[in-house]
Amino acid sequence: MMTRPFYVVIVTDLAVASVLAGCFRDANSDQDKPVVRVETPPSEEDEFTIPADEDSSSAMPQLTDADLARTSWENPFRSSLWSSKDWRIDEKSMTCDSDSGQPATFLRPYRSVVIECRFSRTKENQSETATEENMPIECEIRLLNCNSNRWASLSLRPTNITLTESADGANSTMRTLRETDRSSGDSLSEVVVRLTLTPNRLLVTVDGQMKINATRPGSIMVADCFAQFVVFNRNVVLSDVRFEGE
């Protein structure tokens, strides 16, 4: 016959094992939950591949209910509204302080939106080399799907303007949706971009010229999106930013 002390030891061991099993199940379930990532851009050598990146969503500042309810922003240069590593924010603009290509992410999501902005070189950057002074500014505006981490990307390179989208999220290849020549008449020291996202279309105007009129990419269809701004050289300034949408 089992003595009472021995019985108590067995019951205690079973209870501890049950608790530990539950902890392991909870730990494993966390691994299956989706996370929102703000990805770093592909390098020039691997232009159409999205590199893996550590999750940075936990480091993002949280917007207030009033911020999230607001539909229009004029020059929203307030640090609490951005996730902006390697960017310096002042009252009227943001300046990139690194060549790493880190995106500046506006933390108010939009499903339909008009985004206007100006990219320009600072005097320090203009005086570096004659070659850089004669090259149009390279920049990128991304629309990051808040739910899936997929994105659509508008890239302005020295000779072309390209609309691409990620195929299936992080570590996936990019698919080109539309490409057009970048006019040689574009300003060398600054560029003004207007991106209009409707429920069905994506339209892009660069320096007052319509460049792209395309179907809204499937990667961001029926989705709330964060706007991300990317440049590939330090001392490039983002200014005259306006968001209008819902």
pLDDT tens digits for 93-141? 999 998 888 999 999 999 999 999 999 998 665 455 555 566 789 999 9
How far is 185 from 198, CA to CA, in rounded Å?
Answer: 28
DSSP conformation class of 46: G
For the ranges 31-35, 60-64, 166-170, 218-222, the one whose mean pLDDT is highest: 218-222
How far is 96 from 74, CA to CA, in rounded Å?
Answer: 20
How far is 149 from 200, CA to CA, in rounded Å?
Answer: 20
pLDDT number for residue 64 = 87
How would residue 167 be classed by pLDDT, with cut points 50, 70 and 90? confident
**What are the strands, taking DSSP E only, across the chain?**
72-74, 82-83, 87-89, 93-96, 104-110, 113-121, 139-145, 151-156, 160-166, 174-181, 190-197, 201-206, 209-215, 225-231, 236-245
Looking at domain 35-245, its CATH superfamily turns out to be Exo-inulinase; domain 1 (2.60.120.560)
pLDDT digits (tens, 9 = 90+) for 88-103: 999 999 999 988 889 9
DSSP conformation class of 178: E
Mean of per-residue pLDDT scores for the chain: 78
pLDDT number for residue 11 = 43
Token pair of 91 as six digits: 């009252």
Assess whether pLDDT exceeds 90 at residue 231: yes
Residue whose structure tokens are 């100006």: 118
CB within 8 Å of 55: residues ≥ 6 apart: 35, 36, 37
The dihedral through the CA atoms of 157, 159, 161, 166 has a sign that is negative
pLDDT number for residue 133 = 62
Domain coordinates in residue numbering, the chain: 1-33, 35-245
How would residue 7 be classed by pLDDT, with cut points 50, 70 and 90? very low
Assess whether pLDDT exceeds 70 at residue 226: yes
CB within 8 Å of 181: residues ≥ 6 apart: 159, 160, 161
The more confidently predicted of residues 7 and 149 is 149
